[in-house]
Structure 1
Amino acid sequence: MHSRKNPLPPVVLGLEAGCCPDPASGRHLIYGRVFKNASDKDGNHHSAGHLREVPWVAIAPVVTAIRVLERIVPDGGLLFDAAVHAFQNAPAAPAASIRPHSLRGRIEAFAAWASSLARRLGRDHEVVPDDRHGAIGLARFRRTLAWHIARRPGGLVAPAIQYGHMRTAMSAGYAARGRDGIHELLDIETARATADTLTTLHDDLTNGVGISGPAARRAIHAAAQAPTFAGSIRTHRQARDILRNPALTVYNNPRAFLMCVYNRDRALCHRLDVTDAPRLDRCQPSCTNIARTDSHADQLRQHAQALEKQAASEAVPDPLADRLTRRAGHLLALADRHEHDCIHLQEPTS
């Protein structure tokens, strides 16, 4: 049913129409099958696979994509049925999933169609530009996925919503078992994100930006090493060397208005489990791994002002307005604490 060289894993290629029913409430869930190590009651390999015990959480764009595919394929059929998706000059056997060459062809055909539609509607700015690296293949989408997971924890990508910061989770799971798994790309993109964070911090501190928090001095020491590796992360080995260096584990978390200077022994985002990456969706205000810059303090004040404005609206019930006001006060207190405690690069760091 599936080619070993197909860039999409069997669990995706095996998805069927109806795999993502509309929920009565809450998030959409995707129900798929597991094919690896699937066996029947007699221990024989079960080629049809078994239904996953834990479904995936789906965000709106994913649900929309599934609905489009369901309109293309027969009821109960594979979402990526080769008999439906393959071009006419590339016939496929019944009940087979689409092959890599057909996927590439479909991607190129979609880009051409989208560009033609944009020109016809007079929206030339939405034409898909020619790619200097050649045709767009699915393997290149892995880089995009890795970028989002590394740089937008809890952001727009469904796995990020499901697992928070994903580098450790993905590396320990399915992706780590494949020779071309996404875990190496995740390491590279996470290392590059770390390098970019340290480079920006280094430049800010050099220009007199203040930094505060229990991990401020550790952040300063890490930023001092930024010029040695900025722009040089091209291989998995280089990325691994950076990620394994405990002095460089600095993650920017704009959603929490802070930086995490990660130390496993001090982290409050992990209470029982110990991993080599933080859970940026679980930042705790009392954690000793926290540092803030002037930029974070400005963001705290801006968000507090937005909350105060929302609380002052007549459309907001009094209990909610009280909570918003208290939250705004807390954020302003954090910003004031930064102004009082911040240190600068020219001050002694030891």
Structure 2
Amino acid sequence: MTTAPHSRPAAIPLPPHAQEGNPFVLHGCPLKPGSRLQETSRFADDVWNLGPAMVKKHDRRFILDFGLIPATHRHVGKELCYAMLSGPAPVGETQPAAATVRTVFTEHVRFLRWAAARSGRLEKLSGADLEDYQRFLIQSLPRAGARQSARAGARKFWLWRSCLSSDALRFDPAHIDGWGENAAHRRENTTARIPEEVMGPLFVWSMRFIDDFRADILAADHAWHTPAPPVKPPAYGQVSGLVRAWLDKQLATGQPMPGWRGKPSLTAIAHAVGCSRISVSRHRRMIDETASLVGIRPQPVSDQPIRGRLDGQPWIQAVLADYSEPDSLANLARLLQDACYIVLAFLSGARDSELKHLQRGCLAVERDADGRPYRWKMHSLAFKGESDPAGTPATWNIGEPAARAITVLEQLQPPGSDYLFAPLPHTPGALPDPVNQVLSSGATNARLNRYTAWINGYCQLHKRSDSIPAINGQQWHLTNRQFRRTLAWYIARRPGGAIAGALAYRHHCIQIFEGYAGTSDSGFRAEVESEQALARGEHLLAAIDTHEHTTLTGPAADEAFRRLEQLGTRARYQGRIVLDEARLRRLMDRHDPAVYPGQYVTCVHDHTKALCEKARNQRSENLPDHGGCKPLACRNVALAPENTAAWQHEVDRINHRLACRPPLPPLLQHQLQARLDEITAFLQRNNTTPPESA
């Protein structure tokens, strides 16, 4: 295909800052508090610091290093990045965040390096040249997603051409044959979900840290932050006797001496004797001789006994002071913070950016008249789909286990730290005022995988069987994005065993969906609905295969039979009744029979008859509202044998309550009897045999 060059659109007028010879490149960006525009990078600089424009707490501090671009194309690279940072954007384009500019800058560097070796100017590149660039990407980038990002970065030199005064592409690369790759478009979220066999033990271990191990870690943390009480120095000449007496006691009892990095800890000995470390150090030879006889054990943070139990035994021997030890306070505190992150990410459905902006006091608890909590709300900032790059206040309804995780995080952070996922201060490298106030996404991903490695190491050391299993021979690589995806899958599929009854499914599902109502356009509902359709398709095809659809009764039974027969015919036409996931998803997308199995009824949805839609004033989407279902009166109802069994169980329950003694109040008894009569008549109308009434 040949491509005709397009005329360059009229240049967008530049703002006053940009009309200067050397403008500040961040003048159009929102800057974080405390940043001054006069101290930011200018256009002529070869390295632009984007740190002042990184307004999210968990963002890393990025730079744009234009020294990576050949000198012949450096100016056009600067012009494009300047336009993307401070605008104005061309028609049809939006101003990206500073972090997004840094991400796409990598692709600009790749394209401009290739272009510099290919041609003197971008405007001289032809369609054949860009086809060669596509072949270059195929050879150098193995992943299709990475190649797509590279092509999108190169296309910016066409889409933003009105902002480029020195050079630009003459035509849209998307119109070139061979520019894109033929790939099936997938509607579903491509983020991998965590397998059930991984998520189960991962969640169990996280709750162990929060419920069973936290007391020991928080007690050690409190002791670590508490300054040692001042000691009255012993009289001159008494130190030697005190040290010798203490060493003799160690020899008599045979107790190992507290150690640090394989040597006796002079600090611990000084604290035990009641004198300064310098005074104790003068007796190093005597201390080393005693240590050679009784041995050395790592120094604990405090002398408090371990309270947490695992299978009736202490889960560790002590919380150690040496931050390089596996059982050190520094390591265990990080593991506790990671466990809280896992529980919050999985049970709330919040994104990583939303969790990283949790602050002390973000938890609100609603209580009933008796003071019992019945709802827990988490307050943070939402970013995706919001107009304010600094975030918009949002609220999530969460479960009680997630609320416990927030409480633990508040206790784990020192009083002066407001953000719950701020770096912890237990290692020598911890800074009092770090550049990142909270952990970055990359740091969290690395820590999540170290967390699973610690679990597996612990299980191997103690010969336990509840480790995190390998998947296809490899340890599963966790990322923060997988938890939200996995939660959607659990809500849609209702699997058993992975969270082992930690939460009742229905209660949890309602909370999650309430939490997303009224906040950002998260895409979470669509993701869940997609998984629900897939699970429903599997259920329906299995029922067709075993001819269960022939046993349906009720007003919509004939319509259900007709729809399911058509679905089964189409499935068999594809070669088999049980399809692989991709084929099943395509089948449900094209031929969804709109049959929804439920506990009490099977809904054969027809929006013209649906009482639930009439109750909600005929909303535009023609989907059933199962929360407003009126099963005893709706004409869309069909009954499977399990539905009839559920109704009969309801009848038994009402009969039991009517027969209880002392009798119920008259009004309640009248209401229950009316409900019983209504259900009995419903079952009789639909050719079922109700049980005998009381």
TM-score by length of 2: 0.38
Q: Which residues of structure 2 form unaligned runs of 5+?
A: 1-56, 60-98, 104-190, 192-349, 369-373, 495-503, 690-694
Is the 1:85–1:102 contact (alpha carbons within 8 Å) kept by the matching residues of 2? no
Identify the residue that residue 78 of structure 1 maps to in structure 2.
419
Deviations 1:196-250 (A, max 9, x none): 231243145x258521233222221232224447543534x963652453x5112
In structure 1, what is the Cα distance between the partners aligned to 2:548 and 2:383? Answer: 55
Aligned to 1:344: none
Q: Which residue of 1 aligns with 2:366?
A: 23
Matches within 5 A, 1:267-286: 267-270=610-613, 271-272=616-617, 273-285=619-631, 286=633
**Is this contact kept in 1: 2:356–2:438, CA < 8 A?**
no
1:140 to 466, 476, 482: 482
Deviations 1:150-178 (A, max 9, x none): 345x94464534648x9xx89x96233xx
1:268/1:287 contact within 8 Å kept: yes
AA aligned to 2:630 is: Q
Contact 2:356/2:421 (CA < 8 Å) preserved in 1?
yes
Q: Of 211, 216, 222, which residue of structure 1 is paired with 2:557?
A: 216
- Find the counterpart in structure 1 of residue 92 from structure 2: none
Q: Does 1:339 align with 2:687?
A: yes
Q: Does 1:191 align with 2:533?
A: yes
Counterpart secondary structure, 1:223? helix
Structure 1 residues 85, 209: CA separation in 2 closer, same or farther (over 3 Å shift)? farther
Once residues 93 and 262 of structure 1 are traced to their aligned partners in structure 2, the CA distance between those partners, rounded to angstroms, is: 56
Q: Supply the distance in 2 between the matched residues of 1:288 and 1:84 (Cα, whole angstroms).
A: 60
Q: Give the root-mean-square deviation of aligned CA atoms.
A: 4.3
Residue by residue over 1:54-91, the C-alpha shift from the partner in whole angstroms, topping out at 9 and shown as x without a partner, is x332232332332333333345733333x139999999
- Alignment deviations for residues 75-124 of structure 1 (CA, whole Å, 9 cap, x no partner): 5733333x13999999974422442452453366268549958996x985
Contact 2:658–2:672 (Cα < 8 Å) also in 1? yes
Return the alpha-carbon distance in structure 2 between the equivalents of residues 85 and 333 of structure 1: 69
Q: CA deviation at 1:277?
A: 3.4
Distance 1:89 1:300, change over 3 A: farther
Q: Conserved in 2, the CA contact under 8 Å of 1:268 and 1:284?
A: yes
Contact 1:87–1:102 (Cα < 8 Å) also in 2: no
Q: CA deviation at 1:296?
A: 0.6
Q: Within 2, Cα distance between the matches of 1:263 and 1:86?
A: 62
Q: Does 1:175 align with 2:522?
A: yes
CA contact (8 A) 2:363 2:377 kept: yes
Deviation digits for residues 310-329 of structure 1, max 9, x if unmatched? Answer: 44344784354554454344
SS in 2 for 1:16: coil
- 5+ residue gaps, structure 1, are 40-44, 177-181, 342-350
In structure 2, relative to structure 1, the CA distance for the partners of 1:111 and 1:264 (3 Å cut) is farther
Do 1:17 and 1:70's aligned partners in 2 also have CA atoms closer than 8 Å?
A: yes
Which whole-Å CA distance do the structure 1 matches of 2:383 and 2:505 have between them?
A: 29
Judged with a 3 Å threshold, the aligned counterparts in structure 2 of structure 1 residues 240 and 159 are, in CA distance, closer, same or farther, namely: farther
Give the letter for the 1:34 counterpart: A
TM-aligned CA deviation for residue 261 of structure 1: 1.9
1:250 is aligned to 2:250: no
Q: 2:438 aligns with which of 57, 72, 96?
A: 96
8 Å contact kept, 1:20–1:63: yes
Deviations 1:258-290, CA, capped at 9 Å, x for gaps: 112223343333323222532222212223322
Structure 2 distance, partners of 1:221, 1:85, is 66
Asked whether the 8 Å contact 2:459–2:467 carries over to 1, the reply is no
The one-letter code sitting in structure 2 at the alignment partner of 1:339 is N
Relative to structure 2, which stretch is displaced further, 10-19 or 99-108?
99-108
In 2, Cα distance between equivalents of 1:90 and 1:221? 67
Do 2:541 and 2:578's aligned partners in 1 also have CA atoms closer than 8 Å? no
In structure 2, do the counterparts of structure 1 residues 243 and 78 end up closer, same or farther at CA, with 3 Å as the change threshold?
Answer: farther
Aligned to 1:150: 492
Q: Could you tell me how far 1:20 is from its partner in structure 2?
A: 1.6
Corresponding residue of 2:180: none
- Does the C-alpha gap of structure 1 residues 11 and 73 become closer, same or farther in structure 2, counting only changes over 3 Å? same
Give matches, 1:225-304, under 5 Å.
225-226=567-568, 227-228=571-572, 231-232=578-579, 234-235=581-582, 239=585, 242-243=588-589, 245=591, 247-254=592-599, 257-270=600-613, 271-272=616-617, 273-285=619-631, 286-304=633-651
In the alignment, structure 1 residue 65 sits paired with structure 2 residue 405: yes
Q: List per-residue Cα deviations over 1:21-49 (Å, max 9, x = no partner).
A: 2224352222222345777xxxxx563x3
Rounded Cα–Cα distance in structure 2 between residues aligned with 1:145 and 1:283: 26
Q: Percent same amino acid at aligned positions?
A: 21
What secondary structure does 1:32 align onto?
strand
Give the paired residue count: 314
